[in-house]
């Protein structure tokens, strides 16, 4: 069963370990396994959707709302000076996990990350 499910579906289902930060009705947020900056989070819909082209509008809205909440969290709890919200859809856009996700990337004044 789980072998048929994508990695983020398995994380949502609790079948793969993750550091879960927020769990809402339609979306969850967990730490990225390979953070671009300290506190890098991913927000994903609970229901599988491959990308922005196919996700249900209410799931996309739930992700946007949770991403905003996580942006405030990294500002208030981690002292981030700014945040990048990034969503990549399609291999040409460098999407590597084909379950829609929004990156919440905390930015710190002078940090070296170039997107």
Catalytic residue, from 40, 99, 101, 103: name it. 101
Kindly compute the dihedral angle of the four CA atoms of residues 14, 74, 60, 94, in this order, to the nearest 10 degrees: -80
Smallest separation (angstroms) from ligand 5GP to the CB of 43? 11
Instruction: Please check whether residue 42 is in contact with residue 54, taking contact to mean a CB–CB distance below 8 angstroms.
Output: no
Q: What are phi and psi of 61, to 5 degrees?
A: -65, -40
Separation between Cα atoms, residue 106 and residue 3, nearest integer Å: 32
90 conformational bin, left if phi > 0, alpha if psi -120 to 50, beta if neither:
left
99 binds, among Zn ion, ligand 5GP, none (CB under 5 to 8 A by kind): Zn ion
From the list 14, 25, 96, 114, which residue makes contact with ligand 5GP (rule: CB under 6 A)?
96
Residues 10-39 that bind ligand 5GP (CB under 6 A): 18, 30-34
Q: Is 103 a catalytic residue?
A: no
6 binds, among Zn ion, ligand 5GP, none (CB under 5 to 8 A by kind): Zn ion
**Catalytic residue annotation:** 101
Site residues for ligand 5GP per CB under 6 A = 7, 18, 30-34, 42, 88, 94-97
């Amino acid at each position: 069963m789980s072998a048929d499910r994508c990695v983020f579906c398995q994380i949502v289902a609790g079948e793969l370990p993750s550091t879960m930060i927020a769990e809402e009705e339609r979306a969850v947020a967990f730490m990225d396994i390979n953070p671009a900056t300290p506190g890098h989070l991913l927000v994903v819909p609970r229901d599988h959707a491959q990308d922005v082209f196919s996700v249900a509008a209410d799931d996309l809205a739930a992700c946007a709302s949770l991403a905003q909440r996580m942006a405030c969290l990294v500002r208030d709890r981690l002292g981030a000076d700014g945040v990048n919200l990034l969503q990549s859809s399609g291999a040409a856009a460098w999407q590597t996990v084909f379950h829609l996700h929004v990156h919440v990337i905390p930015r710190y004044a002078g940090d070296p990350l170039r997107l």
